[in-house]
Structure 1
């Protein structure tokens, strides 16, 4: 397990009732974070994900115990646990289904109840992995700003196999009426474009996802296509520069869509492609600046200034899951504020 990464903390509308643990369970790894009563990250860990319904529950329980032990606290002192997972998550019921990358399919898995039982009755909250990433980014944003009680307005734009955004609006997680808030990847931007897996044509994720990079610049060495593309562009390869700018413009379109629909203060780039770091951020900001020059309206929105990278020092999804744990413990509405 990794060493703890301390952060400065303020306060939150969620009662600081005690330490909480957050888990971000992915297909190969589970990331764990422990927040203290003030909301500061005091321990974090990474371990292999166990597959299948029993494996997921057992592995999650092991991760909670491990990160609590690393933080030097007893399990009985943990007042809440939050879990972020892929698949179809029902936060109210505490169930998940169709999380095929962790071996959970068929009948819904009552993860919140089963994990709570395995941990001796600790309250457990369950949320979609994208939503916990948004909550975590908002928590860390307010913490970094040093504004106690700040109600963050933020979109977490996940650039992965697909494209979607988690939304925290005025400090509150926004799922939408049917849970589809932030599914901007399936907004068609070219009606004559290729067919999307969703059945529509020319959806935004066909141009702005990590999968889109592989189509623009297929990997020639087995390394991630985004890495090869941006390295070639940095060397000045003309075709790579063109492909990088095409991709950056597509991500910029996603940023504009988020700002023009919900006017978030920050759009945080996350997901696999965001691991490129500053080169990606610079390219997207340059695209936004370039495309705003012809419009006084867009220029007035300062789009480039709103974009930032997800913090790399802590696992954002696990931090957000721990925020869910604080909500469960405090019986307060979910929010993405710093503690």
Structure 2
């Protein structure tokens, strides 16, 4: 049995999975802020799963952790996890000392990709597209992450699509995530709106022309990401997750509508059945925690 933790800015989702990657127990605890609090929270979550399963901590095969920021998978070091108050943290080493078992660390989006692939059977090529405050993606081939030569494969949010666009945090102009993300929507919509994407969809449904333009731009941007992922790695399935995906079927219908239109305009794209390759992550599914449990050395 393995344990997986998805450490986010507000909560830690923890699961125990069996040898087929199926969750057998799940719990949530509030996440901490700062290096010491994050270590304590992770240890508390593992202890909680131990109590639920009746398995002593030192009898688990491994603990896997999905966490935001820059992750050195080999060393277990986490850098620049801003929402958790972490600048530099040797998380893997700290938890190995604390728990006495193997600990594996991965970026949270890649962990979620592993979990999503597992839910689909772990065969073929799957791309996980996370559309939250920003945009990121990860690719899984036959159940294994593909990260490229230096680990930046599928950094799709930083593909420039408008050379004259706004300045992105990465230093380029007009990156995809400046339009197709929660941040991109918030930049264009009412300042201070606590739920800008939901607000845009509601206003567009009510006939607001500005909201309709922003909504259409969001769909086109996400559709562009889907098209790129299919054309570069021939993803059989593109699973869309992240906070923006919680809009649900209206968002999916918009994206598929754009892809369908492109397929009519370009027979080459039409033959690829782009709309049929896209699906939304099931809301509430603990895929990031499950994927964390499945991390291999």
- Distance in 1 between the 2:79 and 2:211 partners? 40
Aligned pair partner of 2:85 in 100, 103, 107? 103
User: SS where residue 98 of structure 1 aligns?
Assistant: strand
Q: How does 1:107-146 map to 2 (within 5 A)?
A: 108-119=88-99, 121-142=100-121
Q: How does 1:30-179 map to 2 (within 5 A)?
A: 30-105=12-87, 108-119=88-99, 121-142=100-121, 150-179=122-151
User: SS where residue 83 of structure 1 aligns?
Assistant: strand
Count of aligned pairs: 297
- Distance in 1 between the 2:141 and 2:37 partners? 35
Equivalent in the alignment of 1:234: 205
Distance verdict in 2 for CA 1:38–1:202, change over 3 Å = closer
Higher RCO (Cα < 8 Å, 6 or more apart):
1
Q: Give 1:219 deviation, angstroms.
A: 5.8
Q: Give 1:25 deviation, angstroms.
A: 0.9
User: SS where residue 97 of structure 2 aligns?
Assistant: helix
Flag the structure with higher strand content.
Answer: 2
Q: Which runs of 4+ in 1 moved over 4 A?
A: none
Deviations 1:57-79 (A, max 9, x none): 11101001112322343324311
5+ long unaligned stretches in structure 2: none
| TM value normalised by structure 1 | 0.83
- Distance in 2 between the 1:50 and 1:319 partners? 21
Aligned pair partner of 2:246 in 275, 285, 300? 275
- Distance in 2 between the 1:319 and 1:204 partners? 28
Matched-pair contact (CA < 8 Å) for 1:219–1:228: no
Aligned pair partner of 2:155 in 165, 171, 183? 183
Deviations 1:162-184 (A, max 9, x none): 21111112332011212111111
5+ long unaligned stretches in structure 1: 1-18, 143-149, 329-339
